[in-house]
């Protein structure tokens, strides 16, 4: 196993989401790897943490990255957040995202959690699984 592919995966996911027209129609450029200072847009997407598991085998080194993407919205109800979350899923599931090192063998949706925030907003946390091979 190696964690050496993690940075490249995060960068590739960010680039892929930032270039998705359907997601941009919903959140504009409000896709963040790190939240900016100041006032945030009404609805935005942020990359989150990850868990990595060894998936090496006799053919080589590999890892499964379970990473999180969060959609947050101050809009009333869940509609805006769910629309943006659906666009994130559509953009990522099965995508052929090029990496600077290694190979993405597969990218799948794993689960989601939708919740009301104490301040009145809504948040949907999506978890994806990416199988990487260090070739």
> Do 22 and 90 touch, CB atoms closer than 8 A?
yes
pLDDT, greater one: 76 or 22: 22
DSSP code of residue 40: P
- Domains in the chain: ranges and CATH: 6-133 (3.30.2000.30)
Q: Which residues contact 7 (CB under 8 A, 6 or more apart)?
A: none
Contact 89, 109 (CB under 8 A): yes
pLDDT tens, residue by residue, 62-121: 999 999 999 999 998 999 999 999 999 999 999 999 999 999 999 999 999 999 999 889
Q: What is the Cβ-side half-sphere exposure of residue 89, based on CA atoms within 13 angstroms?
A: 14
**What pLDDT does residue 60 have?**
85
Average pLDDT, the chain: 95
Per-residue pLDDT band for 58 (boundaries 50, 70, 90) equals confident
- The model's pTM is 0.94
Terminal Cα-to-Cα distance of the chain (whole angstroms): 12
Task: Give the per-residue pLDDT at 119.
Answer: 87
């Amino acid at each position: 196993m190696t964690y050496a592919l993690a940075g490249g995966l995060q960068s590739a996911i960010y680039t892929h989401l930032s270039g998705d027209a359907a997601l941009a129609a919903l959140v504009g450029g409000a896709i963040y790897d790190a939240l900016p200072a100041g006032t945030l847009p009404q609805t935005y997407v942020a990359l989150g943490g990850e868990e990595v598991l060894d998936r090496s085998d006799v053919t080589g080194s590999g890892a499964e990255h379970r990473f999180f993407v969060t959609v947050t919205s101050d809009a009333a109800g869940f509609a805006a957040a769910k629309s943006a979350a659906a666009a994130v899923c559509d953009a990522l599931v099965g995508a052929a995202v090029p990496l600077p090192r290694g190979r993405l063998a597969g990218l799948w949706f794993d689960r989601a959690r939708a919740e009301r925030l104490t301040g009145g907003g809504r948040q949907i946390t999506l978890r994806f699984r990416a199988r990487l091979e260090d070739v």
